Amino acid sequence: MTASQLAAAGEPDAEKAFFVADLSHVLHQHKRWKAYLPEIEPFYAIKCNPDPYVLRLLAGLGTGFDCASMGEISRVTQLGVDPSRIIFANPCKAASFIRNSAKAGVDMMTFDNTDELFKIARVHPAAKLVVRILTDDSKSLCRLGLKFGAPLVTVPALLEKARELKLDVIGVSFHVGSGCYDSSAFADAVKRARATFDMGKEAGYEFTLLDVGGGFEDDTFEATASILKDAISEHFPDRQHIRIIAEPGRYFVSKAFSLAANVIARRAPPAVEEGRDVEVDPEQPSVMYYINDGVYGAFNCIMFDHQAPQPFVLSLNGSFHVPASVPLRASSVWGPTCDSIDCVCAVTPLPTTLQVGDWLGFADMGAYTICAASQFNGFEVSKVIYTAGVGPGAAEVREVLRAFEGEIVERDLL
């Protein structure tokens, strides 16, 4: 409503799109993790959303961090996170990154090939290495096994080379793929990790770390946790001296962020504009709406993360109330750039009375959205408004942030 008033007064870009981040949801997910997987330490995969307040909150809660570059490592260490709470979980790293991680005190890092071992031996021989093995990721949205992971048949030779180079291999990691929708994939992966532990013993190592990676989905978390715990108990019954970590990303933030976008333009055929009764094909959109964020911005998740976000109406004709009786029409939603690929929704039902200046909302926009957004065509990346939420969680969020970094953080929360 304020944006409409500012736009009418001539304020430039008054109606710009924006995110709302509910940090109490991140806290809720942390508590949920501790309740169902108390034995496994979460190392947040910051690549999915490196939001500064998410990082501060998770750091204050004591989580670890999964970093894939020196930029990510620097972002975390600048918050005061101890290097022991960081894993450099990129199996194929630039030599300069490895050298600088040594300077930063980050020793724990993954590998899955011989060349990586030679690089590490040359520039960071004191590293604590974790061999990343290949698992079945065919049931995941993003199949990381296409790029990373050593097949089990190659592991003995890798460990033999590490031994020859006098490198310390401390454990095993795997990743069932980002956005795993089949929890049984974790059971198979743990079985493969057990075999790798045995290979390590034959090579003269006593592994002390099991990294079960990421792939945790909000909707299937309890089922995944149950399967994972059972698999660990079956294959690692004696784990008194084994540290178990994981690399959840979207699990923490996907539902914590929502996006509000303004309808900046509209295109409809004359019959629709005139309000005449026309035959409507529910499979073919009759009205095109243009909003001020798109696939080059927050909605890059459509292309890179296989998502299909659907809008809901935030405001209609200047009101937050949207009557259930409002008739719907098949419509399409487009981003603001001058590129035809910039389509947010090819077909979606929207109210027939939706007009320029109204607002659409999109839920579950916290993972792989802001982090990969660009400023193509001169459009700025949507800003974030933070809230501590409501209820008892709100007070706890504020307390954690206050204890971690003081009032400077507190003042930015709604």
Is-catalytic flag, 338? yes
Q: How far is CA 407 from the centre of its chain?
A: 27
**Segment (H or E) for 403:** helix 392-405
Beta strands in 310-414 (DSSP E): 312-315, 328-334, 343-351, 359-362, 383-387
Cα–Cα distance measured from residue 37 to residue 223, given in angstroms and rounded to the nearest whole number: 11
Sign of the C-alpha dihedral, residues 291, 296, 301, 306?
Answer: positive
Q: Measured over all CA atoms, what is the biggest interatomic distance in the chain, rounded to whole angstroms?
A: 80
Q: The tokens of 66 are what?
A: 């999964």
Closest among 227, 225, 226, 195 to 210, alpha carbons compared: 195
Residues 56-82: b if buried by 16+ CB within 10 A, e if exposed: bbbbbbebbbbbbbbebbebbbebebe
Using DSSP's 3-state secondary structure scheme, residue 205 falls into coil
Using DSSP's 3-state secondary structure scheme, residue 129 falls into strand
Sign of the C-alpha dihedral, residues 363, 366, 370, 371?
Answer: negative
The residue annotated as part of the active site, out of 142, 180, 301, 338, is 338
Cα–Cα distance measured from residue 170 to residue 99, given in angstroms and rounded to the nearest whole number: 19
Going by the DSSP 8-state scheme, the letter that residue 284 receives in this structure is S
**392-405 vs 52-61: helix axis angle to the nearest 10?**
90
Q: The tokens of 33 are what?
A: 């993790």
Instruction: Compute CA distances 241 → 170, 206, 210, 413, whole Å.
Output: 12, 10, 11, 41
Cα–Cα distance measured from residue 146 to residue 148, given in angstroms and rounded to the nearest whole number: 6
Closest among 336, 312, 338, 337 to 326, alpha carbons compared: 312
Cα–Cα distance measured from residue 72 to residue 58, given in angstroms and rounded to the nearest whole number: 15
> Catalytic residues, which ones?
338
